[in-house]
């Protein structure tokens, strides 16, 4: 067996540790062997060689995950490595990239060779390295640099046939295998074939280096998705321990945080390095991570978020943070019935910026501590925001009216509660209005409310009982008898009404007052709670579960401010068309700022829905800040460019992209588009210029594009 790597550097050992033991067997093969005979007989003989190991290719069966794990353990021991004799380093790739001026690849090659051969010193001025004298080899390197691996394979085999005794440089073969392995691994990863990803990674240690961080991420993801989080963490740790590009380090932790449990993410964060300006490199991530964790805790009460994350979000709020951070905390504590803490954070959130969510949260805590009056005040403004907000509002009103003895409420408050109750058809509040009126001896009013409640909820026995009591007070014997008939089988207390002595009847009434809110716990009559509390706890749970904008509401019934909030909420839920309708309502807002927000939101919503022309119209409906103008126009132009390219309108595509570049946002992927648009128009020089620039910037699409240009030109010449 001939190992391609005789000298294994520390970095490669580390990667070997990462992935477990591997036999590197993509070996050289001696070309030009006599082709004697054909067919099956030889095939049989070659299996013999293979399986007896005389040529050392181990049978590659499917290695299971466990075997990889076991192998990892053994390789983890410090392996006796034969001290490398000073190797002959193949610098032909180096020369090729230097001559091409491809500094990105040149640097990658230097670091790769360094990793392979720790004793090797790169040339002082790599750009001064002499050109490869071998033209054919030069051409192979060129094909390689254009990612045309199948053609390199063919070129090598062609030359071996044509020129006996020629063998390809080991470096070329090696790099080619690695490049093909990278392509295969990437394809497998894109198709979620995680075992393949891990297997190729294990077979190709030189893919597991800092210059291949994308591969490392894919391998880590493959481990994480196949329930091997420990291995995934090790792969991420490898990047953090060995690699130095700040953006890649940051991205590593970001990726890990979506795939690994929090404790493992902690391990990664511990590898943080201080930046030149004294800040720690993962600060921003830690904030987001803390937010994400607390947000997860909002959705799932069984999750306990470690105190340091809660503390981090708390500090964010205290140090001038956003209302949304405070809201995260409010809902987190509310889910855990820590109402006092929840109230604190909801109040802070409202202090920074009032919103439906903050008000709803605060209202729920207020109802909980029997302050429905304030809850009603807090929620009134937001009552129409969602079905959920409305439920919270009615929980406040029902509880407010149920308090005994009745709180003195102003005419204004009573009027608005009544109006909301009617328009929202809330039987619960209507019933409580009945009891409230009864307490105030307004029996006619009470009868009306009980009747109303029954019309919305015909099986509401307490309302029927209240109505019977009220009619009794009003000496409406016929009315009482009618109710008694209707409820004959269903309510003993209605049936027995009038049988009791006046003294006892009063007692009953008082009891009834305490039970006014009981309907909320009708299904659990054993609950011995005070009425308002019972009403609250049920509504609270419902409200928390359904907060947000998950319910469908016709936005035209909303106030512009509520519609605006709903629009953003719907955007968060990725329901752009509904969001656009909500923003439409918000466009009627009196304030310039709100209208701008609404137009901006509607534009984004249409963009997300793929309705570019509508987005453009929306963007023009209110004056926008410069930054937003650029953002929207860029996004709109970008979509238009892609659409017109896909529709084959190449000239339009170029015009649009020119406009876009004037906004100063010429991104590489759009340049690729432009290159192909030129190519489709047979404007080869322009296409080549663009792809050349991209290729020089190290963009692979650039190299591919150049190939396409050449092909197209070649075809053009043929025709």
Partner 1 sequence: MMQSLAKAIAAGLFAVVLASGAASKPLISAEAWNAYKENFLDTSGRIIDTGNGNISHSEGQGYGLLLAYYADSPPDFEQIWSFTRTELLVRDDGLAVWRWDPSKRPHVTDINNATDGDILIAYALALAGARWNRDDYTAAASRIATALASKAVVAHGERLLLLPAVTGFAAADRPDGPVINPSYYIFEAFPLLAQLAPQADWTKLSGDGLALVEKMQFGPRQLPTDWVSLAGEMRPADGFPGEYGYNALRIPLYLARAGNPAPALVQRLRKQTTGPEDSLQLMTFDDAGPGTLLTDPGYRFINHLVACVAEAKPIPEDLRQFRPTLYYPSTLHLLGLAYAAEKHPGCL
Count of CA atoms in the C-beta half-sphere (13 A) of 209: 21
Kindly state the smallest distance separating residue 251's Cβ from partner 1, in Å: 22
What's the CA gap between 487 and 311, in Å, rounded? 57
Kindly state the smallest distance separating residue 141's Cβ from partner 1, in Å: 16
Kindly state the smallest distance separating residue 197's Cβ from partner 1, in Å: 9
- Rg, C-alpha atoms of the chain: 37
- Got the DSSP string for 45-74? HHHHHHHHTSS---------HHHHHHHHHH
Nearest CB to partner 1, comparing residues 506 and 700: 700
Q: What is the DSSP letter of 31?
A: T
What's the CA gap between 453 and 421, in Å, rounded? 10
What's the CA gap between 256 and 260, in Å, rounded? 6
What's the CA gap between 116 and 107, in Å, rounded? 14
What's the CA gap between 710 and 520, in Å, rounded? 77
Contact between residue 353 and residue 344 where contact means Cβ atoms under 8 Å apart: no
Axis crossing angle, helix 502-514 with helix 427-439, rounded to the nearest 10: 140
Contact between residue 470 and residue 480 where contact means Cβ atoms under 8 Å apart: no
Kindly state the smallest distance separating residue 249's Cβ from partner 1, in Å: 28
Nearest CB to partner 1, comparing residues 179 and 481: 179
Nearest CB to partner 1, comparing residues 158 and 572: 158
Kindly state the smallest distance separating residue 21's Cβ from partner 1, in Å: 15
CA-nearest of 18, 484, 66, 78 to 220 is 18
Nearest CB to partner 1, comparing residues 157 and 340: 157
Nearest CB to partner 1, comparing residues 503 and 718: 718
Count of CA atoms in the C-beta half-sphere (13 A) of 638: 19
Nearest CB to partner 1, comparing residues 40 and 526: 40
- Got the DSSP string for 161-200? HHSTT----HHHHHHHHHHHHHHHHHHHHHTT-HHHHHHH
Kindly state the smallest distance separating residue 176's Cβ from partner 1, in Å: 9
Nearest CB to partner 1, comparing residues 31 and 118: 31
Nearest CB to partner 1, comparing residues 35 and 528: 35
Kindly state the smallest distance separating residue 191's Cβ from partner 1, in Å: 5
Binding site for partner 1 (CB under 8 A): 25-27, 29-31, 33, 35-53, 55, 57-62, 148-151, 153-158, 160-161, 180, 183-184, 187-188, 190-191, 193-196
What's the CA gap between 624 and 519, in Å, rounded? 51
Kindly state the smallest distance separating residue 152's Cβ from partner 1, in Å: 8
What's the CA gap between 369 and 533, in Å, rounded? 8
Question: Token pair for residue 76?
Answer: 């983890």
249's CB contacts (< 8 A; 6+ apart) are 239, 240, 243, 273, 281
Nearest CB to partner 1, comparing residues 203 and 426: 203
Please list, residue by residue across 56-69, b when 16 or more beta carbons sit within 10 angstroms of its beta carbon and e when fewer do.
ebeeeeebebeebe
Nearest CB to partner 1, comparing residues 195 and 248: 195
Nearest CB to partner 1, comparing residues 27 and 266: 27
Kindly state the smallest distance separating residue 670's Cβ from partner 1, in Å: 17
Listed in sequence order, the DSSP H helices in 425-501 are 427-439, 443-456, 461-473, 477-486, 492-495
Nearest CB to partner 1, comparing residues 226 and 322: 226
Kindly state the smallest distance separating residue 192's Cβ from partner 1, in Å: 8
Question: Token pair for residue 353?
Answer: 């910026």
């Amino acid at each position: 067996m001939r190992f391609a790597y005789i000298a294994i550097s520390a970095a490669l050992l580390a990667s070997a540790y990462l992935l477990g033991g591997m036999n590197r067997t993509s070996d050289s093969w001696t070309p030009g062997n006599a082709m004697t005979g054909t067919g099956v007989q030889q095939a049989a003989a070659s299996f013999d060689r293979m399986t007896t190991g005389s040529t050392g290719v181990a049978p590659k069966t499917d290695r299971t995950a466990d075997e990889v794990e076991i192998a990892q353990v053994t390789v983890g021991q410090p392996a006796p490595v034969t001290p490398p004799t000073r190797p002959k380093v193949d610098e032909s790739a180096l020369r090729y990239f230097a001559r091409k001026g491809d500094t990105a690849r040149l640097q990658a090659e230097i670091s790769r060779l360094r990793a392979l051969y720790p004793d090797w010193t790169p040339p002082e001025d790599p750009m001064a390295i002499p050109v490869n004298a071998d033209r054919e080899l030069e051409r192979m390197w060129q094909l390689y640099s254009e990612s045309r691996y199948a053609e390199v394979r063919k070129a090598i085999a062609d030359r071996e046939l044509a020129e006996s005794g020629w063998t390809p440089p080991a470096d070329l073969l090696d790099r080619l295998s690695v490049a093909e392995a990278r392509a295969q691994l990437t394809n497998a990863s894109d198709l979620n074939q995680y075992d393949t990803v891990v297997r190729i990674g294990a077979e190709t240690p030189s893919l597991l280096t800092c210059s291949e961080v994308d591969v490392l991420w894919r391998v880590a993801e493959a481990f994480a998705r196949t329930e091997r989080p420990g291995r995934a963490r090790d792969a991420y740790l490898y990047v953090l321990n060995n690699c130095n590009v700040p953006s890649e380090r940051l991205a590593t932790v970001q990726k890990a945080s979506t795939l690994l449990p929090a404790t493992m993410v902690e391990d990664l964060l511990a590898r943080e390095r201080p930046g030149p300006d004294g800040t720690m490199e993962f600060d921003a991530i830690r904030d987001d991570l803390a937010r994400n964790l607390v947000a997860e805790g909002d959705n799932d009460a069984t999750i306990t978020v470690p105190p340091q994350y809660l503390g981090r979000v708390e500090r964010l709020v205290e140090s001038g943070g956003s209302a949304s951070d405070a809201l995260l905390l409010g809902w987190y504590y509310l889910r855990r019935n820590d109402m006092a803490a929840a109230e604190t954070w909801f109040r802070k959130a409202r202090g920074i910026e009032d919103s439906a969510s903050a008000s709803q949260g605060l209202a729920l805590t207020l109802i909980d501590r029997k302050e429905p009056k304030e809850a009603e005040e807090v929620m009134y403004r937001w009552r129409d925001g969602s079905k959920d907000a409305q439920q919270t509002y009615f929980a406040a009103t029902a509880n407010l009216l149920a308090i005994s003895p009745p709180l003195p409420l102003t005419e204004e408050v009573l009027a608005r509660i009544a109006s909301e109750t009617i328009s929202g058809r809330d039987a619960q509040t209507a019933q409580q209005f009945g009891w409230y009126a009864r307490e105030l001896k307004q029996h006619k009013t009470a009868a009306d409310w009980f009747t109303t409640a029954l019309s919305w909820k015909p099986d509401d026995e307490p309302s029927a009982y209240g109505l019977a009591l009220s009619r009794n007070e009003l000496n409406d014997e016929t009315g009482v008898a009618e109710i008694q008939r209707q409820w004959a089988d269903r309510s003993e207390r209605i049936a027995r009404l009038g049988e009791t002595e006046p003294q006892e009847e009063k007692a009953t009434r008082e009891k009834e007052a305490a039970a006014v809110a009981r309907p909320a716990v009708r299904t659990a009559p054993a609950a011995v709670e005070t009425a308002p509390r019972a009403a609250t706890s049920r509504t609270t749970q419902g409200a928390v579960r359904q907060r947000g904008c998950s319910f469908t509401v016709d936005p035209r019934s909303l106030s512009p401010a509520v519609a605006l909030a709903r629009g953003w909420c719907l955007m968060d839920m990725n329901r752009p068309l509904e969001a656009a309708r909500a923003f439409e309502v918000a466009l009627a807002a009196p304030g310039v700022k709100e209208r701008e927000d609404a137009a901006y939101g509607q534009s984004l919503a249409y963009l997300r829905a793929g309705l570019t022309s509508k987005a453009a119209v929306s963007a023009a409906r209110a004056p926008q800040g410069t930054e937003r103008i650029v953002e929207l126009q860029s996004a709109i132009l970008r979509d238009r460019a892609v659409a017109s390219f896909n529709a084959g309108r190449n000239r339009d595509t170029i015009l649009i992209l020119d406009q876009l570049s004037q906004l100063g946002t010429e991104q590489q992927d759009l340049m690729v588009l432009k290159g192909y648009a030129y190519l489709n128009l047979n404007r080869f020089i322009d296409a080549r210029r663009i792809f050349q620039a991209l290729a020089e910037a190290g963009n692979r699409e650039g190299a591919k594009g150049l190939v396409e240009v050449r092909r197209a030109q070649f075809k053009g010449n043929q025709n």
